[in-house]
Every structure is written in structure tokens, then in C-alpha cells.
Structure 1
Amino acid sequence: MPFGHVTDLPRDDWRRAARRVRPDVVYALLNWRAVPFCHEVLRALPGIPFVWHFKEAPQHSIRRGEWPLLAELATRSAAQLYCSPEEREWFLAALPGAVDPGRAYVMDGDLPKADWFEGVPAGPGGDGEVHTVVLGRPLGLDAESVAALARRGVHVHLHGLVTAPGVKGAWASWLPRAVEAAPGRVHVHPHVDQRDWVRVLSRYDAGWLHRVRSANGGDLRVATWDDLNLPARIPPLMAAGVPLLQQRSPGCRVAADRLIEETGAGLLYDDLDGLADRLRDAAALRRARDAVAAHRSSFTFDAHADRLVGLFREVCR
């Protein structure tokens, strides 16, 4: 680690080492792959306050047959943190009366250090066309949608996972067709790491979230993970001052929709034609960019660290 005060415990003898260290609190996190091991820690160290921070995704744990483990982490921990109010509410509904609402908090687990937000976003290049960016997987996009956007003068720039060696996905079949159908308006770029978020990404007019339409009808009990999730690409886009693009799901409850409605830090759209029109609305984009600037610091870990430490102190009393 590039800082002190960190002690690594041996993987093959962590139980004995943890008892020797005698920690004041166990902070366990974050996603479905960690559930079995975190459950093992919960049971192995019963005398130590246990804070469970969970993000992605209860539906994955259910499919893997690990819901009993996840439910025990949620009900036996001294406190829990969830990535969105919608995910918190989902757990309260899934485990009625078994989770204390007063010990269930909201804090995204994918928040980066404020160091990566340093610098002033440059703003779009101003070549008269609209440039949008995808970070990682282009979920919900395909050759037809990208080509339709290109015909309206909207560029799509893809950064990251689509170019990683050996990585395959649905885009592998449609990306070459999209590049051919929309020459000069579909662009593939390398991954951008934290050091270049502000410098590289701030040149774009807007950034895509996951283009997935909800069908929960306002009932979180039937929500999918896409309904509960705040995608990890949000903080890099906020760091760069880039407004978020989210497809609206009328009558449904979706965490990303609510975030944009509450902050104004993006554009909600119904279809691609409507989105192209909104992206051509300079005033709407300027308002969204101003809202991003007003809220961007709240998407750093540093903005929430004192609250997290306060929770640790509270459960240790």
C-alpha cells in the first residue's frame, strides 16, 4: 500500500491472525463474489462488531444459491451500507422485520479518492458536433442504435473494456459493423485510468450509463439489479464534469433515474431521436454540466469518510 498503518493477514491462517490483532470492528465488502468469504468471517469472529457494505448484487447471489449467506450478513451485522436508497429498500422488503432500518445506511462502495478529481474540467471541444462517451461495456447499445445516433450527428466514443485483449462480449459482433456503418462517428479508445479522468473525459458532451429499460412498475420487490444500481462509471464522469445519459423508465423506480432527477446532473430521454434533440439543446447541456459541477465532490470517498468512521465508532460502543 502507498500509505502506512496497514497489516495484511495471512490467507491460510487469517482466523488466528485476526484474533491476535483484536480489531475493534470488521468492515466487510463489497460485491457478490465476496459473500461466501465475508460470511465465513462473520461466523469466525462473533465477538467483533461487523459492518457489512454491499453493492452488487442480491440477484446474483440468489442465482448462485447464496441468498442464505447474504441474508445472514444483512441480519447479523451490526450495521449495513447499501449503494442506493433503492437497494436499501429492497433489502428491507426482502427481510421484513429482520433488518433494523436505523442500522441500514446508504453509501456507494465504488467511490474514488478525491485526488482523482483534481483539476478543472476543460469542457467539450466545440467542433459543432456532439461527442458522447461510453466507459467500459456499452450496455444497451448496438450497431443499429449507434448508427442511428451517427446519422443525427452524435458521435459515440468507447473507452476501455471493449479493447482489452481476450475480452469478449456482445459488442464483439456489432462493433465492426457500427464502425463501418458510421465512419468517423464511432471511435474506439484505450482505457482511461484515474490520473486522466479529468483531462481526457472532460472533452465529451455527455456520458452513457446503462441503456436498460426497467419493467418493475414502481414495485422494488420485482426490481432487477439494473434498477437498484448506481453504475461505477458515474464517479469518473462526474470527476470530468460530464453530464450523465439515462434512458427513462416511466412508472418505474430506478436508482439512476432518481439520481438525475434529484441532482439535474444529466439528461433523461425516452428514445434515441429525443436524445439527439436534447443533445443539440445547448442550454439543457449547460444546465446539466452546471449541476455536475455543483455535485461532483459528493461522488468522492473523501466526502463520506468521516460519516463512515463515525459509524465504526458507533458500533464499537
Structure 2
Amino acid sequence: MRATNYKTIDEPKIYEPYRKEIPCCKDSLKILLVGELAYNSERIYAFEEAGHRLYGLWSKPRFCFSTVGPLPFGHIEDIPYNCWKNRVKEIKPDIIYAQLSTGAIDIAHEVLKSNIGIPFVWHFKEGPHEALKIGLWSKLIDLYTYADGKIYLNKEIKDWFELFVPQHIKTTQTYVLDGDLPKANCFLNSKFSKKLSASDGAVHTVVVGRMIGLSPNELKILADHNIHIHVYNENHISEEMITCKYRKIASNHFHVHNHCSQLQWVTEFSQYDAGWLHSIDSNNEQSLLRAIWSDLNLPARINTLAAAGIPMIQKLNMNHIMAMKNYIEKYKMGIYYNTISELIPQLKDKKLMECIEKNVKKHRMEFTFDHHVPSLIHFFREVISSFKHNL
């Protein structure tokens, strides 16, 4: 399927590894997924690989990335919305796992308020400010107030939500996990490539998705120091609209490539010296109440660059709350800068770059959903136990 000038998708090839039927384990859980799965939706096949049974009650897709069933992988039983209560009573799931973006809020809230006697876990990623804008804020806060288990994108967003959740209703059943981590297969199905810089002596960096925050003038400075930027575009916007100003100012150092499938993440992106995260300036001055979504978000490209095992570039944002920075800093995987002139010598410091790359490769599997499935299942069992105890 050709989605855009840059993006062609081969679904049979992508999802072929996720179609084998796997027997349930001895103490398997029946997990009812509610809502939508967003990016890297095949990650949930890891539950099946661990021996659990999945069911799906899906929302109406709100965005192009709002993945819902029927799915081209796994063996999830889809539950029709018009009779979902009856079917859920027949199935008797052990737990409800509701997720993940604003498009899931309505149906997740409906299920929560139905009081059907099944422990309910709410996991939310993107984004609270969007929910506020479209009139779903009260339902979102209900979900984080009354859910039996609450999963947050990161500690920063957990602290932010808890500013608005009634203090006396807070539960100890909480967990922190990026909601759309990729399946481990994306990290393991190919080998690292030789660096482009090894053949031409230049520095080659990559942007996976949209270019965010890097100006044409900054690109010109990078080009003047023989630093290239390679963009893998996937958005359905005119190539000329996005790239003409960059091509004009640094035609020999700015390159646009076709979309790269998850099957080639490792091979394709490991040839670069570093990857760009969102180059944004924060203004929150350590105040959660002043934090906006870009301060609290973890961009999906973090996981893609982790698969490739390359350092990640972002603004330093000293003295501001920045979840993206804290996340990368925890694993010592980042390159930080205030100005482009501060970034250039770091990109050219081979020992520094090798050290950071070593850290990325050491921790890269922690950026897969599979890595977290055992602890996530343990969390589900804790929620189930607590729910039964409180009956």
C-alpha cells in the first residue's frame, strides 16, 4: 500500500512474524483491551507470546494513528460495541486494560462507569492538553481518579496529573511505561550497518519523521562544518513545502529519504552518527503548572533511534522540567546543546560519540514492549488482588 510519495507499507511482510497461534500458559490472564493502540500496535502480540488471551473492545478511530481492530496480526477476539456488556459477562476477563490516546477516552470512560465488576487499568499517552481542548478533560480525570490501576507515560506526567486528582482518592496501584513501545522483533531482525562517516569523514545525522525546531540558519551552520542531515519523511504534505528552504540553503548536506519500515530500522538508521529528537525550548521554569505537552511528552522516535543504537540530540533546557531529557539522561544516551555552535564539537568528538553509542546499545532492549511484559503482568496481578481484597 502506497500511503504517500515517501511511504509504502507491506503489511503481510511486517505482520507475518505475529500470526502464530500460541497456547495459553497455565496461569494465563484474559485481558480485555479497550480503546485504541496508537503506534507500534503489534506490541500487544507480546501478551500472546507470554501465554495470555486477548479481547478487544475498540473506539472509533480519531486520528490516522488510532489503531483499532480487526487487526492483521495476533488472535484477538473483537467484541461488537452494540452488545459489549453481554459478551464481556460471558468472557469474564481477569482485567481490563484501557488505552491509549484521546480517541479512547469516551469508550474507556463508558466501560469504567458501567461498574461491571472487573478490575480496570487506565494507560494514557497523548495527550492531556488535546483532551482539554476537545472537551474530554473531566472524563480523563475520572479515569485517572477511579481506575483500579493507573499507568503513566513517565514520572513527570504522573506528577502533573496528580495536581488535578482528588488527594483522598489516590491509589498506590500505579505504574510508569511509555504506551507505544515497539515489539522487540524490530530490534532483533537485522544487523548494525557501517557508518557513512567512516567512508567520507563527514558527520551524518538523521531525523526520523518531522523536523521539529531546527531552523534553516542552523542547518546552514551545520553544513558549513560538514555535518549532514538525513530526513525520513512520512507525512502527506508537499515535499516542496517542507524541504525547499532547507534544500536551498544547504543542498549538498540536506537529504530526504523514503519512509523506513520497522523491518529496516536497525540496518538503515544505524549508519548515522546520531539522531535528532524534538529541538524545543522550554519555558516552564521547573513549574508543573507551566508545563506544556512538549515538556511532558516522550516522542515515539526515541524508540526508533534506540533500535538503531545511536546517540540522541536534543536541547539542554537547564532549569526546566523536560521529561524527554530526563528519560534519555537516565541512560546516558544523549547529546545536549543550547546553541548549534555548542553541538558541533560534540558531534565531532569521536570518543564521546562512541561512549554514548555504547550506552544506547547497552540499554536498547529496554525500549521494547517485550522487555516490560513480565513486570506489566505482575502489575496486573497486583491490581486484580487489590480489587478482590476491596470487594
- The reply to whether TM is greater than 0.5 is yes
Partner of 2:281: 213
* 1:99 CA drift (Å): 5.2
Gaps of 5+ in 1: none
Partner of 1:151: 224
- State the aligned residue count: 312
Separation in 2 of the partners of 1:64 and 1:218?
Answer: 27
TM-score w.r.t. length of structure 2: 0.76
* 1:246 CA drift (Å): 0.9
CA contact (8 A) 1:241 1:293 kept: yes
Q: Deviations for 1:207-237, whole angstroms, at most 9, x for unmatched residues?
A: 1111111111011222111111111011110
Partner of 2:141: 71
Bigger shift: residues 181-190 or 141-150: 141-150
Is residue 190 of structure 2 the alignment partner of residue 117 of structure 1?
A: no
CA contact (8 A) 1:230 1:256 kept: yes
1:133 to 182, 190, 206: 206
What pairs up with 1:298-313 in 2 under 5 angstroms? 298-313=366-381
* 1:123 CA drift (Å): 4.6
* 1:263 CA drift (Å): 1.3
Separation in 2 of the partners of 1:3 and 1:32?
Answer: 31
Is residue 152 of structure 2 the alignment partner of residue 82 of structure 1?
A: yes
Partner of 2:66: none
Separation in 1 of the partners of 2:131 and 2:366?
Answer: 29
Gaps of 5+ in 2: 1-17, 22-52, 54-75, 386-391
1:182 to 230, 250, 259: 250
Q: Secondary structure of the residue that 2:313 maps to in structure 1?
A: strand
Of all paired residues, the percent bearing the same amino acid is 37
* 1:14 CA drift (Å): 2.4
Residue identity matched to 2:82: D
* 1:167 CA drift (Å): 3.1
Is residue 308 of structure 2 the alignment partner of residue 240 of structure 1?
A: yes
Q: CA RMSD in A?
A: 1.8
Separation in 2 of the partners of 1:130 and 1:58?
Answer: 38
Separation in 2 of the partners of 1:184 and 1:274?
Answer: 22
Separation in 2 of the partners of 1:302 and 1:240?
Answer: 17
CA contact (8 A) 1:142 1:175 kept: no
Q: Deviations for 1:141-166, whole angstroms, at most 9, x for unmatched residues?
A: 232332232122111111132xx4x4
Residue identity matched to 2:295: D
Q: Deviations for 1:239-293, whole angstroms, at most 9, x for unmatched residues?
A: 1111111111111010111123221112011111111121111111111101101
Separation in 2 of the partners of 1:49 and 1:172?
Answer: 51
Separation in 1 of the partners of 2:168 and 2:258?
Answer: 46
CA contact (8 A) 1:88 1:104 kept: no
Is residue 114 of structure 2 the alignment partner of residue 41 of structure 1?
A: no
* 1:122 CA drift (Å): 2.6
Q: Deviations for 1:156-180, whole angstroms, at most 9, x for unmatched residues?
A: 111132xx4x436xx8635112112
Q: Secondary structure of the residue that 2:77 maps to in structure 1?
A: coil
Q: Secondary structure of the residue that 1:217 maps to in structure 2?
A: coil
Is residue 29 of structure 2 the alignment partner of residue 12 of structure 1?
A: no
- The 1:28–1:273 alpha-carbon spacing in structure 2 relative to 1, beyond 3 Å, is same
Residue identity matched to 2:119: P
What pairs up with 1:162-311 in 2 under 5 angstroms? 164=235, 166-167=236-237, 173-311=241-379
Partner of 2:19: 2
Is residue 67 of structure 2 the alignment partner of residue 50 of structure 1?
A: no
Q: Deviations for 1:30-70, whole angstroms, at most 9, x for unmatched residues?
A: 11221112112212343111000111111111111211000
